[in-house]
Amino acid sequence: MSVVLHQEPLAPRTSFRLGGPARILIEADRDDEIESILREQGTAPLFVLGGGSNLLVADRGYDGLVLAIRSRGVSLRRDGDAVLVTAAAGEPWDDLVARCVEEGLAGIECLSGIPGQVGATPIQNVGAYGQEVSDTLVAVHAYDRMQGQRVSLRPEECSFAYRDSAFKSQWPGRYVILSVVFRLRPGLPDAPRYGELIAALGDEPPTLGRLRSLVIELRRRKGMILDEGDPDTRSAGSFFTNPILEPAAWAAFQDRIAPQLHPGERIPSFDGGGGRIKLAAAWLIERAGFSRGFQRGGAAVSSRHALALVNRGGSAADVLALAREIQQGVREAFGVELTPEPVLLGF
Ligand SMILES: Cc1cc2nc3c(=O)[nH]c(=O)nc-3n(C[C@H](O)[C@H](O)[C@H](O)COP(=O)(O)OP(=O)(O)OC[C@H]3O[C@@H](n4cnc5c(N)ncnc54)[C@H](O)[C@@H]3O)c2cc1C
Protein backbone atom coordinates (compact mmCIF):
# COMPACT_ATOMS: atom_id res chain seq x y z
CA MET A 1 0.00 0.00 0.00
CA SER A 2 1.33 3.41 -0.85
CA VAL A 3 1.27 6.16 1.79
CA VAL A 4 0.92 9.82 0.81
CA LEU A 5 2.38 12.45 3.14
CA HIS A 6 2.26 16.24 2.82
CA GLN A 7 5.02 18.61 3.91
CA GLU A 8 6.94 15.56 5.08
CA PRO A 9 10.28 16.36 6.80
CA LEU A 10 13.14 14.85 4.81
CA ALA A 11 15.91 15.36 7.39
CA PRO A 12 15.08 12.18 9.38
CA ARG A 13 15.13 10.26 6.11
CA THR A 14 18.73 11.22 5.32
CA SER A 15 22.00 10.22 6.96
CA PHE A 16 23.03 13.91 7.19
CA ARG A 17 19.82 14.53 9.20
CA LEU A 18 19.49 17.85 7.38
CA GLY A 19 17.11 19.62 5.03
CA GLY A 20 13.51 20.78 4.89
CA PRO A 21 10.29 19.00 3.90
CA ALA A 22 9.04 17.51 0.66
CA ARG A 23 5.81 19.08 -0.60
CA ILE A 24 4.47 15.57 -1.18
CA LEU A 25 6.13 12.26 -0.31
CA ILE A 26 4.70 8.93 -1.43
CA GLU A 27 6.03 5.71 0.04
CA ALA A 28 5.46 2.76 -2.27
CA ASP A 29 6.28 -0.84 -1.44
CA ARG A 30 5.15 -2.66 -4.59
CA ASP A 31 6.42 -2.42 -8.16
CA ASP A 32 2.91 -2.09 -9.63
CA GLU A 33 2.22 0.85 -7.29
CA ILE A 34 5.51 2.47 -8.19
CA GLU A 35 4.70 2.01 -11.86
CA SER A 36 1.21 3.47 -11.56
CA ILE A 37 2.53 6.54 -9.67
CA LEU A 38 5.15 7.02 -12.37
CA ARG A 39 2.58 6.64 -15.16
CA GLU A 40 0.35 9.22 -13.55
CA GLN A 41 3.28 11.58 -13.10
CA GLY A 42 4.36 11.22 -16.76
CA THR A 43 7.56 13.16 -17.31
CA ALA A 44 6.80 15.77 -14.61
CA PRO A 45 9.71 16.18 -12.16
CA LEU A 46 9.94 13.90 -9.17
CA PHE A 47 12.73 12.74 -6.91
CA VAL A 48 13.31 9.07 -6.12
CA LEU A 49 14.41 8.50 -2.53
CA GLY A 50 16.20 5.39 -1.32
CA GLY A 51 17.85 5.34 2.09
CA GLY A 52 18.93 9.00 1.88
CA SER A 53 22.58 8.15 2.54
CA ASN A 54 24.00 9.89 -0.51
CA LEU A 55 21.84 12.96 -0.32
CA LEU A 56 22.02 16.54 0.93
CA VAL A 57 18.59 18.21 1.02
CA ALA A 58 18.37 22.01 1.01
CA ASP A 59 17.14 23.68 4.20
CA ARG A 60 14.05 24.93 2.41
CA GLY A 61 13.24 21.37 1.32
CA TYR A 62 11.95 20.16 -2.03
CA ASP A 63 8.89 21.75 -3.57
CA GLY A 64 7.82 18.67 -5.47
CA LEU A 65 7.01 14.98 -5.30
CA VAL A 66 9.37 12.55 -3.61
CA LEU A 67 8.80 8.86 -4.32
CA ALA A 68 10.27 6.76 -1.52
CA ILE A 69 10.92 3.20 -2.70
CA ARG A 70 10.12 0.61 -0.04
CA SER A 71 9.76 -2.61 -2.08
CA ARG A 72 11.31 -5.69 -0.49
CA GLY A 73 12.26 -9.18 -1.57
CA VAL A 74 15.27 -11.29 -2.50
CA SER A 75 15.30 -14.41 -4.65
CA LEU A 76 18.13 -16.81 -5.46
CA ARG A 77 18.34 -18.98 -8.57
CA ARG A 78 21.09 -21.39 -9.61
CA ASP A 79 22.67 -20.50 -12.97
CA GLY A 80 25.36 -23.03 -13.95
CA ASP A 81 28.17 -22.71 -11.45
CA ALA A 82 26.86 -19.37 -10.17
CA VAL A 83 23.79 -18.05 -8.34
CA LEU A 84 21.63 -15.22 -9.64
CA VAL A 85 20.50 -13.02 -6.77
CA THR A 86 17.60 -10.69 -7.55
CA ALA A 87 16.87 -8.01 -4.96
CA ALA A 88 14.09 -5.45 -4.87
CA ALA A 89 15.16 -1.80 -5.02
CA GLY A 90 13.98 -1.11 -1.46
CA GLU A 91 16.02 -3.88 0.18
CA PRO A 92 18.62 -2.46 2.58
CA TRP A 93 21.93 -3.04 0.79
CA ASP A 94 23.81 -4.33 3.81
CA ASP A 95 21.08 -6.86 4.64
CA LEU A 96 21.58 -8.25 1.15
CA VAL A 97 25.35 -8.45 1.62
CA ALA A 98 24.90 -10.16 5.01
CA ARG A 99 22.47 -12.68 3.50
CA CYS A 100 24.80 -13.48 0.57
CA VAL A 101 27.74 -13.94 2.93
CA GLU A 102 25.63 -16.31 5.05
CA GLU A 103 24.58 -18.24 1.97
CA GLY A 104 28.25 -18.60 1.02
CA LEU A 105 28.00 -16.47 -2.11
CA ALA A 106 31.08 -14.45 -3.08
CA GLY A 107 31.34 -11.17 -4.96
CA ILE A 108 29.89 -8.39 -2.78
CA GLU A 109 31.42 -9.16 0.65
CA CYS A 110 33.82 -6.19 0.53
CA LEU A 111 30.80 -3.90 0.07
CA SER A 112 29.71 -4.69 3.63
CA GLY A 113 28.50 -1.89 5.87
CA ILE A 114 27.52 0.54 3.11
CA PRO A 115 24.18 2.16 3.99
CA GLY A 116 21.30 2.72 1.60
CA GLN A 117 19.14 0.54 -0.59
CA VAL A 118 19.84 -1.92 -3.39
CA GLY A 119 18.11 0.27 -6.00
CA ALA A 120 20.59 3.10 -5.50
CA THR A 121 23.71 0.95 -5.88
CA PRO A 122 23.88 1.07 -9.69
CA ILE A 123 23.44 4.86 -9.73
CA GLN A 124 26.99 5.64 -8.65
CA ASN A 125 28.32 2.10 -9.07
CA VAL A 126 28.79 1.74 -5.33
CA GLY A 127 32.25 0.55 -4.45
CA ALA A 128 34.65 0.06 -1.57
CA TYR A 129 37.64 -2.04 -0.53
CA GLY A 130 38.39 -3.26 -4.05
CA GLN A 131 34.88 -4.22 -5.17
CA GLU A 132 32.19 -2.37 -7.13
CA VAL A 133 28.62 -3.48 -7.81
CA SER A 134 29.42 -3.48 -11.53
CA ASP A 135 31.81 -6.44 -10.93
CA THR A 136 28.87 -8.76 -10.30
CA LEU A 137 25.75 -6.92 -11.54
CA VAL A 138 24.15 -8.66 -14.54
CA ALA A 139 20.83 -6.78 -14.97
CA VAL A 140 18.94 -3.73 -13.81
CA HIS A 141 15.14 -3.89 -14.00
CA ALA A 142 13.72 -0.40 -14.16
CA TYR A 143 10.81 1.76 -15.22
CA ASP A 144 11.80 4.03 -18.10
CA ARG A 145 9.98 7.34 -17.56
CA MET A 146 10.74 8.48 -21.09
CA GLN A 147 9.23 5.44 -22.82
CA GLY A 148 6.63 4.86 -20.12
CA GLN A 149 7.46 1.16 -19.77
CA ARG A 150 9.45 -1.39 -17.79
CA VAL A 151 12.85 -2.30 -19.21
CA SER A 152 15.82 -4.51 -18.39
CA LEU A 153 19.27 -3.08 -18.87
CA ARG A 154 22.44 -5.08 -19.28
CA PRO A 155 25.63 -3.83 -17.58
CA GLU A 156 27.17 -2.92 -20.99
CA GLU A 157 24.35 -0.39 -21.42
CA CYS A 158 24.96 1.28 -18.05
CA SER A 159 28.44 2.82 -18.69
CA PHE A 160 29.67 1.86 -15.23
CA ALA A 161 32.84 3.62 -14.13
CA TYR A 162 34.42 4.76 -10.86
CA ARG A 163 31.48 6.19 -8.79
CA ASP A 164 29.58 6.74 -12.01
CA SER A 165 27.06 5.24 -14.42
CA ALA A 166 24.80 6.31 -17.25
CA PHE A 167 21.98 6.57 -14.67
CA LYS A 168 23.93 9.36 -13.00
CA SER A 169 25.67 11.12 -15.87
CA GLN A 170 23.65 10.49 -19.04
CA TRP A 171 20.08 9.80 -17.98
CA PRO A 172 19.49 11.43 -14.58
CA GLY A 173 15.89 10.93 -13.51
CA ARG A 174 14.95 8.78 -16.51
CA TYR A 175 15.01 5.32 -14.93
CA VAL A 176 13.47 4.29 -11.64
CA ILE A 177 15.20 1.09 -10.60
CA LEU A 178 12.83 -1.65 -9.45
CA SER A 179 15.28 -4.49 -8.85
CA VAL A 180 18.87 -5.48 -9.48
CA VAL A 181 20.31 -8.90 -10.39
CA PHE A 182 23.79 -10.00 -9.27
CA ARG A 183 25.67 -13.11 -10.38
CA LEU A 184 27.57 -14.45 -7.38
CA ARG A 185 29.84 -17.46 -6.98
CA PRO A 186 29.30 -20.08 -4.28
CA GLY A 187 32.50 -20.79 -2.39
CA LEU A 188 35.47 -18.89 -1.13
CA PRO A 189 36.05 -15.23 -1.98
CA ASP A 190 38.84 -14.01 -4.24
CA ALA A 191 41.89 -12.74 -2.38
CA PRO A 192 41.26 -9.09 -1.41
CA ARG A 193 42.73 -6.43 -3.70
CA TYR A 194 42.65 -3.43 -1.40
CA GLY A 195 45.91 -2.74 0.46
CA GLU A 196 44.36 -1.88 3.82
CA LEU A 197 42.23 -5.03 3.76
CA ILE A 198 45.15 -7.22 2.69
CA ALA A 199 47.17 -5.85 5.61
CA ALA A 200 44.32 -6.36 8.08
CA LEU A 201 43.86 -9.96 6.94
CA GLY A 202 47.55 -10.76 7.30
CA ASP A 203 48.31 -14.46 6.80
CA GLU A 204 44.77 -15.62 7.52
CA PRO A 205 43.01 -17.33 4.60
CA PRO A 206 40.17 -15.10 3.37
CA THR A 207 36.66 -16.34 4.09
CA LEU A 208 33.47 -14.46 3.28
CA GLY A 209 32.60 -13.98 6.94
CA ARG A 210 36.10 -12.81 7.88
CA LEU A 211 36.25 -10.29 5.02
CA ARG A 212 32.84 -8.93 5.97
CA SER A 213 33.79 -8.48 9.61
CA LEU A 214 37.17 -6.93 8.76
CA VAL A 215 35.60 -4.46 6.32
CA ILE A 216 33.01 -3.46 8.92
CA GLU A 217 35.75 -3.02 11.53
CA LEU A 218 37.87 -0.85 9.19
CA ARG A 219 34.83 1.21 8.19
CA ARG A 220 33.75 1.74 11.80
CA ARG A 221 37.16 3.17 12.67
CA LYS A 222 36.66 5.78 9.95
CA GLY A 223 33.09 6.64 10.97
CA MET A 224 31.83 4.91 7.84
CA ILE A 225 29.23 2.72 9.54
CA LEU A 226 25.99 4.55 10.31
CA ASP A 227 25.59 4.75 14.07
CA GLU A 228 23.22 7.10 15.95
CA GLY A 229 25.76 7.28 18.77
CA ASP A 230 28.65 8.26 16.50
CA PRO A 231 28.50 11.96 15.53
CA ASP A 232 31.02 11.36 12.73
CA THR A 233 28.42 9.36 10.85
CA ARG A 234 25.99 12.26 10.32
CA SER A 235 27.32 12.43 6.83
CA ALA A 236 26.88 11.03 3.36
CA GLY A 237 30.11 9.04 3.61
CA SER A 238 32.71 10.49 1.27
CA PHE A 239 31.66 13.97 0.23
CA PHE A 240 34.03 14.09 -2.76
CA THR A 241 35.08 11.51 -5.31
CA ASN A 242 38.78 10.87 -5.85
CA PRO A 243 39.85 13.03 -8.80
CA ILE A 244 41.12 11.23 -11.90
CA LEU A 245 43.77 13.06 -13.92
CA GLU A 246 44.71 12.68 -17.57
CA PRO A 247 48.47 12.04 -18.05
CA ALA A 248 49.21 15.72 -18.90
CA ALA A 249 47.29 16.99 -15.87
CA TRP A 250 49.08 14.43 -13.68
CA ALA A 251 52.47 15.67 -14.93
CA ALA A 252 51.45 19.30 -14.26
CA PHE A 253 50.21 18.33 -10.78
CA GLN A 254 53.50 16.59 -9.95
CA ASP A 255 55.51 19.65 -11.05
CA ARG A 256 53.32 21.91 -8.96
CA ILE A 257 53.48 19.82 -5.82
CA ALA A 258 57.16 18.76 -5.97
CA PRO A 259 58.45 21.75 -3.92
CA GLN A 260 55.91 21.02 -1.17
CA LEU A 261 56.83 17.35 -0.64
CA HIS A 262 58.98 16.25 2.27
CA PRO A 263 62.09 14.24 1.31
CA GLY A 264 61.01 10.72 0.33
CA GLU A 265 57.32 11.59 0.50
CA ARG A 266 55.14 9.85 -2.06
CA ILE A 267 51.91 11.26 -3.50
CA PRO A 268 49.15 8.70 -2.86
CA SER A 269 48.05 7.80 -6.39
CA PHE A 270 46.40 4.83 -8.06
CA ASP A 271 45.70 3.46 -11.50
CA GLY A 272 42.70 5.37 -12.85
CA GLY A 273 42.39 3.27 -16.04
CA GLY A 274 43.37 4.23 -19.59
CA GLY A 275 46.70 5.73 -18.51
CA ARG A 276 44.97 8.06 -16.08
CA ILE A 277 45.89 8.54 -12.43
CA LYS A 278 43.48 8.58 -9.51
CA LEU A 279 44.46 10.86 -6.62
CA ALA A 280 43.34 10.48 -3.01
CA ALA A 281 40.94 13.36 -2.37
CA ALA A 282 41.38 12.95 1.41
CA TRP A 283 45.12 13.59 1.06
CA LEU A 284 44.54 16.70 -1.08
CA ILE A 285 42.01 18.03 1.43
CA GLU A 286 44.35 17.58 4.39
CA ARG A 287 47.33 18.99 2.45
CA ALA A 288 45.25 22.04 1.52
CA GLY A 289 44.86 22.78 5.24
CA PHE A 290 41.52 21.17 6.09
CA SER A 291 42.58 18.73 8.74
CA ARG A 292 40.28 16.20 10.36
CA GLY A 293 37.91 17.93 12.75
CA PHE A 294 38.18 21.30 10.93
CA GLN A 295 34.88 23.06 11.64
CA ARG A 296 33.12 25.95 9.97
CA GLY A 297 29.72 26.91 11.44
CA GLY A 298 27.68 23.79 12.03
CA ALA A 299 29.60 21.61 9.57
CA ALA A 300 32.97 19.93 9.91
CA VAL A 301 35.45 17.59 8.32
CA SER A 302 34.98 14.25 10.09
CA SER A 303 37.45 13.76 12.91
CA ARG A 304 38.17 10.27 11.53
CA HIS A 305 38.26 10.69 7.74
CA ALA A 306 39.08 13.86 5.81
CA LEU A 307 36.78 12.87 2.94
CA ALA A 308 33.59 12.92 5.00
CA LEU A 309 31.85 16.18 5.85
CA VAL A 310 29.65 15.90 8.89
CA ASN A 311 26.69 17.75 10.35
CA ARG A 312 27.65 19.23 13.73
CA GLY A 313 24.25 20.63 14.52
CA GLY A 314 24.25 23.03 11.59
CA SER A 315 22.32 23.35 8.36
CA ALA A 316 22.56 22.04 4.81
CA ALA A 317 23.82 25.52 3.87
CA ASP A 318 26.69 25.10 6.36
CA VAL A 319 27.68 21.77 4.79
CA LEU A 320 27.55 23.21 1.29
CA ALA A 321 29.55 26.30 2.31
CA LEU A 322 32.24 24.10 3.84
CA ALA A 323 32.28 21.92 0.70
CA ARG A 324 32.74 25.02 -1.48
CA GLU A 325 35.53 26.31 0.77
CA ILE A 326 37.34 22.96 0.53
CA GLN A 327 36.90 22.85 -3.25
CA GLN A 328 38.34 26.33 -3.53
CA GLY A 329 41.24 25.54 -1.18
CA VAL A 330 42.20 22.41 -3.13
CA ARG A 331 41.82 24.24 -6.46
CA GLU A 332 44.10 27.07 -5.29
CA ALA A 333 46.69 24.75 -3.74
CA PHE A 334 46.89 22.09 -6.45
CA GLY A 335 44.83 23.16 -9.48
CA VAL A 336 42.66 20.07 -8.97
CA GLU A 337 38.86 20.14 -9.05
CA LEU A 338 36.99 18.10 -6.43
CA THR A 339 33.57 16.79 -7.44
CA PRO A 340 30.90 16.27 -4.76
CA GLU A 341 29.63 12.71 -4.54
CA PRO A 342 26.23 13.15 -2.85
CA VAL A 343 23.15 14.24 -4.72
CA LEU A 344 22.08 17.81 -3.90
CA LEU A 345 18.29 18.22 -3.75
CA GLY A 346 16.35 21.48 -3.70
CA PHE A 347 19.32 23.86 -3.91
C1 LIG B 1 28.53 6.40 6.44
C2 LIG B 1 28.42 6.25 4.94
C3 LIG B 1 29.34 5.46 4.24
C4 LIG B 1 29.25 5.32 2.84
N5 LIG B 1 30.17 4.53 2.20
C6 LIG B 1 30.09 4.38 0.85
C7 LIG B 1 31.04 3.56 0.17
O8 LIG B 1 31.94 2.96 0.76
N9 LIG B 1 30.94 3.45 -1.18
C10 LIG B 1 29.95 4.09 -1.88
O11 LIG B 1 29.91 3.93 -3.10
N12 LIG B 1 29.03 4.86 -1.25
C13 LIG B 1 29.08 5.02 0.09
N14 LIG B 1 28.17 5.81 0.74
C15 LIG B 1 27.16 6.53 -0.03
C16 LIG B 1 25.78 5.80 -0.08
O17 LIG B 1 25.63 4.93 0.98
C18 LIG B 1 25.61 5.02 -1.39
O19 LIG B 1 25.76 5.88 -2.49
C20 LIG B 1 24.22 4.36 -1.46
O21 LIG B 1 24.14 3.54 -2.60
C22 LIG B 1 23.07 5.36 -1.49
O23 LIG B 1 21.89 4.61 -1.33
P24 LIG B 1 20.56 5.28 -0.82
O25 LIG B 1 19.48 4.25 -0.97
O26 LIG B 1 20.74 5.86 0.50
O27 LIG B 1 20.34 6.41 -1.94
P28 LIG B 1 19.76 7.87 -1.74
O29 LIG B 1 20.73 8.70 -0.97
O30 LIG B 1 18.37 7.83 -1.26
O31 LIG B 1 19.77 8.37 -3.26
C32 LIG B 1 20.98 8.56 -3.95
C33 LIG B 1 20.68 8.72 -5.45
O34 LIG B 1 20.14 7.49 -5.96
C35 LIG B 1 18.88 7.72 -6.53
N36 LIG B 1 18.05 6.53 -6.29
C37 LIG B 1 17.87 5.89 -5.10
N38 LIG B 1 17.09 4.80 -5.30
C39 LIG B 1 16.78 4.77 -6.61
C40 LIG B 1 15.99 3.91 -7.43
N41 LIG B 1 15.36 2.83 -6.92
N42 LIG B 1 15.88 4.19 -8.75
C43 LIG B 1 16.50 5.27 -9.28
N44 LIG B 1 17.24 6.12 -8.56
C45 LIG B 1 17.39 5.87 -7.25
C46 LIG B 1 18.33 8.95 -5.86
O47 LIG B 1 17.34 9.60 -6.68
C48 LIG B 1 19.59 9.77 -5.74
O49 LIG B 1 19.89 10.36 -6.97
C50 LIG B 1 28.24 5.98 2.13
C51 LIG B 1 27.31 6.78 2.84
C52 LIG B 1 27.41 6.92 4.22
C53 LIG B 1 26.42 7.76 4.96
Residue among 71, 112, 165, 238 flagged as catalytic: 238
**138 lies in some domain:** yes
CATH of the domain at 15: 3.30.43.10
Read off the CATH number of the domain in which 182 is found: 3.30.465.10
CA distance 30 to 188: 35
Q: Are residues 265 and 338 in the same domain?
A: yes
Going by pLDDT thresholds of 50, 70 and 90, the confidence category of residue 319 is very high
Nearest to 323 by CA among 292, 290, 287: 290
Q: List residues near ligand 1 (CB under 6 A).
A: 15, 47-55, 69, 89, 114-117, 119-121, 123-124, 126-128, 176-177, 224, 226, 233, 235-237, 343
What residues make up the domain containing 315?
A: 231-345
C-alpha 54 to ligand 1 mean position (Å): 4
Q: Are residue 207 and residue 307 in the same domain, yes or no?
A: no
Residue closest via CA to ligand 1's atom 11 equals 126
Is the distance from CB of 139 to CB of 181 less than 8 angstroms?
Answer: yes
**Is the same domain home to 79 and 215?**
yes
Q: What is the pLDDT of residue 259?
A: 87
The answer to whether the beta carbons of residues 49 and 67 sit under 8 Å apart is yes
206 in the same domain as 93: yes
Higher pLDDT pick, 101 / 264: 101
40 is catalytic: no
The residue out of 203, 221, 239 marking a domain boundary is: 221
The pLDDT of residue 309: 98
Q: Are residues 27 and 142 in the same domain?
A: no
As a whole-number percent, the residues of the chain with pLDDT over 70 amount to 100
pLDDT tens digits, 114-139: 999 999 999 999 999 999 999 999 99
Cβ atoms of 26 and 68 closer than 8 Å:
yes
Phi, psi of 5 (to 5 degrees): -125, 140
221: annotated active-site residue = no
**Ligand 1 pocket: which of 30, 69, 123 to mutate (most atoms within 8 A of CB):** 123
Are residues 208 and 126 both part of a single domain? yes
Q: Are both 145 and 112 inside the same structural domain? A: yes
Answer whether 179's CB lies under 8 Å from 137's CB.
Answer: no
Specify whether 92 is located in the same domain as 31: no
Determine, yes or no, domain membership for 226: no
pLDDT tens-digit profile of 232-256? Answer: 899 999 999 999 999 999 999 999 9
* Each residue's pLDDT tens digit, 59-73: 999 999 999 999 999
**Residue 281 and residue 152 share a domain:** no
The mean per-residue pLDDT over the stretch 171-176 comes to: 96
182 domain residue, yes or no: yes
Residue 62: C-alpha distances to residues 12, 140, 315 (Å): 14, 28, 15
In a shared domain, residues 181 and 243: no
Last residue of a domain, one of 12, 41, 69: 69
- The total number of structural domains that make up the chain: 3
Q: Is the alpha carbon torsion for 128, 218, 235, 113 positive or negative?
A: positive
Q: Is residue 254 part of a domain?
A: yes
Does residue 84 share a domain with residue 31?
no
Which one of 187, 221, 255 terminates a domain?
221
Mean pLDDT of 293-297: 96
The predicted pLDDT at position 1 comes to 77
Q: Check pLDDT > 90 for residue 260.
A: no
Q: How far is the CA of 80 from the centre of ligand 1 (A)?
A: 31
Q: What is the pLDDT of residue 300?
A: 98
Which residue in the list 70, 145, 163, 292 is annotated as catalytic? 163
- Same-domain pairing of 167 and 153: yes
CATH code of residue 296 = 3.90.78.10
Global confidence as pTM: 0.96
Summarize the confidence of residues 168-183 as an average pLDDT. 97
Specify whether 163 is catalytic: yes
The pLDDT value recorded for residue 336 is 95
